[in-house]
Amino acid sequence: MDVAGTEVAPRKRANRGGAARVGLMALPVAFFAVFFAYPVAAIVARGLRVDGVWRLGRLADVPAQPDIQHVLWFTTWQALVSTTLTLLVAMPGAYVFARLDFPGKQLLRAVVTVPFVLPTVVVGTAFLALVGRGGLLDDLWGVRLDTTVWAILLAHVFFNYAVVVRTVGGLWAQLDPRQEEAARVLGASRAAAWRTVTLPALGPAVAAAALMVFLFTFTSFGVVQILGGPTFSTLEVEIYRQTSEIFDLSTAAVLTIVQFLAVGAILVVHAWTVRRRESALRLVDASRTARRPRGAGQWALLVLVLATVAVLLVLPLAVLVARSLDAPGFAYYEALTHADGGTFLVAPVNAIGNSLAYAGAATLIAVLIGSLAAAALTRRDAGRLVRGFDALLMLPLGVSAVTVGFGFLISLDRPPLDLRGSWILVPLAQALVGAPFVVRTMLPVLRAVDERLREAAAVLGASPWRVWREVDLPIVRRALLIAAGFAFAVSLGEFGATVFIARPDNPTLPVAVARLLARPGDLNYGQAMALSTILMVVCAVALLVLERLRTDRTGEF
């Protein structure tokens, strides 16, 4: 009897765990199926079906064209180089924010994150002011980098620096430093101890950060369109050109499929390699690991990171602020309070409230969907279907936002999903981009939790929900707040899909900036710079509040 009981109990716990995973996955699967897979499939099908006839031969003809092959080659190699440069430049910053404590750290962390939430068209314009004709480099040294790949690469590092700092630094701050200290006591040098102890532990977070950077640069749109000129074009830019300028929806659909397949293959390889390297880690309270800089080496590293932030991140932002103040007084800012009846049905300043409301709703959706998905993917005994879902969650970051936006318009236009006139359409599109950040931020920490803690709680009779509340949540709530911050920041800056679905009487900040940049005249350009400056301030304040909340209310565990 006892033997039978001991055999049945583990089986019941396994069945209960499997049922719990299915329950956790149900809502994320439904969300991505209805608001991602269905719209993308609808727009692709419309592009490949002409007059009721499927033109599947285009799937082979389009990629074979020499100009398309050039686009594919440039898209791939610039993404690889951009990702490598971002990791090299940002890893020291991740260490400084994770291990060092210094005055102004919270403010600096918010400043570092602000570039990531800026619309890409604004990032491209800022770097054009730095490296283009009449820009800062041209005025000082007569050097121009516009229409060169270096301008694109620098802008990509500027844009993605925060991804590495916050994703890798979030886990790094929770690693027990005593493990590396033990290696030093046994005779390992500082470099050897970091290479053999810390780096393997950071592997999943580094891979997650590299994946996100690669996807963003692989699908780069605004930066390449502005800085690349007619010479350089990514898949995303080509899809936009084929859709909006040439009106060749068939070619755009084929390129969307190519991009989709390429990103899918990358995600499958990533999921396989990262899972092989994951292990249970000894995590501690992040507030106990940061110390004042000690020794010349740490002070030099801090100075280097501060100099990098000042030159690479703050300088472009300063250019935007300066451009917004070019007119006497605050004329550009004052002009934002007036509706002109042309581009906007309301005063452009109303976009501030719209963006905050949309981003707040999108953050709630993204945190709910992403948290459920991350919890379902935590168990190491999950089947292949669950592990495949891990990769699928990242696909919205690798599919053209132009395709998603058009897909929303043509697929969510009839009952029971006629959402064209509903305000929720914008947060749903923004949450599609925010949810993968929630998953990628929480998953390394969740999988680092010792599985024996969950098993012990289950043996004592705790339900899966109570196991999550009592074991996982105290450890991952810091990562949850970081994920919420990322989702909010991404939602504020989302442009590609929002530009197609935001109503003229309710524009978001990025949409308003893009519309102003598209209109000729110094007044419109100045208003765009003023709105961009407001967006930077709003993001900085929101992220600073998040930093204080995370520091004050992240308890000990």
Model pLDDT for residues 293-339, shown as the tens digit of each residue: 777 888 888 899 999 999 888 888 888 888 788 877 788 888 888 87
Conformation bin of residue 329: beta by default, left when phi > 0, alpha when psi is -120 to 50: left
385: pLDDT confidence band, cut at 50, 70 and 90?
Answer: low
Among the listed ranges 56-60, 85-89, 236-240, 309-313, which one has the minimum average pLDDT value? 56-60
Q: Tell me, what amino acid is at 389?
A: F
The predicted-structure confidence for 226-260, as pLDDT tens digits, reads as follows 787 777 888 888 887 887 777 777 788 888 888 87
What digits encode the pLDDT tens for the residues 118-145?
777 778 778 877 876 666 776 677 666 6
Q: Is omega for the bond preceding 204 within 30 degrees of 0, making it cis?
A: no
Asked whether the beta carbons of 118 and 536 are under 8 A apart, the reply is yes
The residue to which tokens 């005249």 are assigned = 521
Residue 554 has pLDDT above 50, yes or no: no
Question: How far apart are the two ends of the chain, measured CA to CA in Å?
Answer: 39
Q: What is the pLDDT of residues 91-123, one digit of tens each?
A: 999 888 888 888 888 778 878 887 877 777 778
Helices 315-324/522-553 angle, 10° precision: 130
Rounded Cα gap, residues 27 and 24, in angstroms: 7
At 449, give phi and psi (nearest 5°).
-70, 135
Structure tokens that stand for 490 in this block: 């991404």
Report the pLDDT averaged over residues 19-27: 68
What is the pLDDT at residue 82? 95
Tell me which of 278 and 517 has the higher pLDDT. 517
Q: What is the pLDDT of residues 467-511, one digit of tens each?
A: 767 777 777 777 788 788 878 878 887 877 887 788 877 888 888
**pLDDT computed for residue 548 by the predictor:** 64
Amino acid at 260: F
Residue with more model confidence, 385 or 78: 78
For 126-194, strand residue ranges (E) read: none
User: At which residue do the structure tokens 């709530």 appear?
Assistant: 477
Return the ∠ at Cα 373 (arms to 456 and 162), rounded to 5°: 105
Which position has the higher pLDDT, 227 or 447? 227
The predicted model scores a pTM of 0.74
On the question of pLDDT at 361 being above 90, the answer is yes
* 427 — pLDDT class (breaks 50, 70, 90): very high
Q: What are phi and psi of 408, to 5 degrees?
A: -60, -40
Q: What is the pLDDT of residue 448?
A: 72
* Number of Cβ atoms within 10 Å of the Cβ of 133: 9
Which residues contact residue 466 at a Cβ distance below 8 angstroms, ignoring those fewer than 6 apart? 457
The one-letter code for the residue type at 524 is N
